[in-house]
Amino acid sequence: MKPHRILFTLLLLSVSFVGKALAEAPKPKPNIVFILVDDMPYAGPSVTGNTLLQTPHMDRIAKEGILFSRAYTEPLCGPSRATLMTGQFAGRHGRTDNAPGVHPYALMQETLLPASPEKKPARGGQDEGESSARLPDPVQPGGYSLAQALKAGGYRTAITGKWHLPLQHLTPKLAPRYGFDFCTDKPDRSQPYRDTKHFTDDAIQFIRDNRAQSFFLYLPYVAVHGGHVVPPEDQARWKERLKGKNVGIDPDMLASLEFVDLSVGRVLAALDELGLTGNTMVILASDNGGVGKDIYSVGNAPFRLGKGTLYEGGVRVPLFIRWPGQIQPGSRCDTPAHFVDLFPTLCDAAGVKPDPAHRLDGTNLRPLFTGGTLPERTLFVTYPHYIAEFGTTPVRAVIQNRYKLVWNPYDHIEIAGDRVTSSTIHYVPKPRVELFDMESDPGEHENIAARYPELVAELRQRMEVWMKETGAKDVTPNPAYDASRPLFNTREGAIKKEREQKKVKK
């Protein structure tokens, strides 16, 4: 064979070999940025219905990815974050409340915490002055978190924001126990609005420092939790903008939400600048629904009530996921999803296999990214506590396709209108069962339980079987029940009139 033909043959073989090697080379793991906003209602972003404020950066995530229109979570901050980190329903992981046991004369007795040794209330509970560290820790000792799973899979991991499991903020010393390589320092509480900037600054610095390797960044803001302390210039601008308008929404909340959106924009811009956007999955969600109509109102329309309830206003949240090349821009999914699904979904996207000894309640959502479907399933939410300031007694919810059961097995609170105050609530020491068609009645206005008794019985049975299987906590009869003070709150004395009358401190 002539020399030039030999060289040509070798060149073809080398090109073929290199091409095959490149084709077989493992694709880089996607970076993951999870942004969690505190107490943001479903219609907080403009893409899901906010008509008072434009949120272009949050909207960008939805428009360049997929918007889940029926994403559910737990009704309060701590339980929701525990569900996100464990991939388990609150009934299984055990963190079912933020501050349980403060209604000592209620019909039923909560069983989550032991009585305070100092004050010894009439029944078990967290008395005033006890720290959140008294709450159960669903991750340690002996637990397992999403961050631990991703770290074991080769990711650099970070948290820059609110933890609340049980401590409000992790410290750099404690963070490795939960699977985080980096943790922001505790923020300066003298100017709380600076938290948002502080957390964002640290998040962007972490991205810059780790841009050469796969990373998981968890950015859970404290905003827009009440009482919405915001930069003075933003506060003044929104007060003037809403002057004379009866919109039923705290202007400081809108200022806070606007500040968060700008911060989200800074994170997205950093990914763009560093050339990381194409290989980064970005998730944006809220930990629970917004606070109902009071001085910190954020507006939950068109849904019923808000945070602390199992109605849509409390547990239905915005969920946007952007993943270039894997999700068609502008996608929308109406299939019910839940925070329990995010653990298995993110692990699958990262090519990480979770510890098989850790029970996951969720389902991998990736088929929905490309227009696929999921097997039929049932979602469960439980809240075995009293939280009178939100109009809630021990309650359970079952979500199955278009139907949703809301079941108060022991007692309930009737609310006149959509505002929870001492003059609009009526305590009823009897059970209540409600069934709603979420397709025709997402605002949960019409109880159709009487029309579908067989479906109600089926969903109740599913809940009872699930509670038994998971060991979900329930309440027991309270020997200290006082019918004249069933909603007395050891922290507030009752529903604070202050919530109705006081002005937000500026």
Question: Which residue ranges make up each domain of the chain?
Answer: 27-98+135-373, 378-506
Closest C-alpha among 484, 495, 475, 287 to residue 385: 475
- Closest C-alpha among 475, 498, 495 to residue 485: 495
CA–chain centroid gap for 482, Å, is: 35
SS3 282: strand
Cα R_g (the chain), whole angstroms: 24
What pLDDT, on a 0 to 100 scale, did the predictor assign at position 123? 32
What pLDDT does residue 124 have? 33
User: Chain centroid to CA 407: how far?
Assistant: 22
Burial of 290 (0-12, 13-18, 19+ CB in 10 A): buried
Residue in 484, 501, 431, 478 with CA at minimum distance from that of residue 111: 478
User: Regarding the domain delimited by 27-98+135-373, which CATH topology (the fold level of the hierarchy) does it fall under?
Assistant: Alkaline Phosphatase, subunit A (3.40.720)
Between CA 238 and CA 254 the distance in angstroms is 7
**Tokens at 429, concatenated:** 């020491």
Q: Is the peptide bond before 302 cis (omega within 30 degrees of 0)?
A: yes
Q: Which of 332, 375, 377, 370 is nearest to 349 (CA)?
A: 370
pLDDT at position 25 is 52
pLDDT exceeding 90 applies to what percent of the chain? Answer: 66
Please report, to the nearest 10 degrees, the dihedral formed by the alpha carbons of residues 146, 399, 42, 50 taken in order: 150
Measured at the CA of 354, the angle between CA 350 and CA 359, to 5 degrees, comes to 135
Q: Which residues of the chain have pLDDT under 50?
A: 15, 18-19, 21-24, 113-133, 295-296, 497-506
- At 7 the pLDDT is 56
In CATH terms, 378-506 corresponds, of 3.40.50.2300, 3.30.1120.10, 3.90.1150.10, 3.40.50.1100, to: 3.30.1120.10
Beta strand residue intervals within 357-431, DSSP E: 379-383, 395-400, 403-408, 412-415, 425-428
Residue range 113-126, pLDDT digits in tens: 433 333 333 333 33
pLDDT in tens, 448-463: 999 999 999 999 999 9
CA distances from 95 to 78, 83, 166, 345, 470 (A): 7, 9, 9, 22, 13
DSSP, residue by residue, 126-192? --TT--GGGS--SSTTT---HHHHHHHTT-EEEE-S---SSSSS--TTTGGGGT-SEEPPPP-TTST
Give dist(CA 59, CA 48) in Å, integer: 8
**Whole-structure pTM value:** 0.88
Beta-bridge mates of residue 67:
320, 332
pLDDT of residue 294: 55
Nearest-angstrom CA–CA distance, 98 and 392 = 14
Q: Quick check: 474 and 268 in contact, CB under 8 A?
A: no
Among 127, 106, 107, 108, CA closest to 116: 127
Strands 403-408 and 412-415: unpaired
pLDDT recorded at residue 432: 98
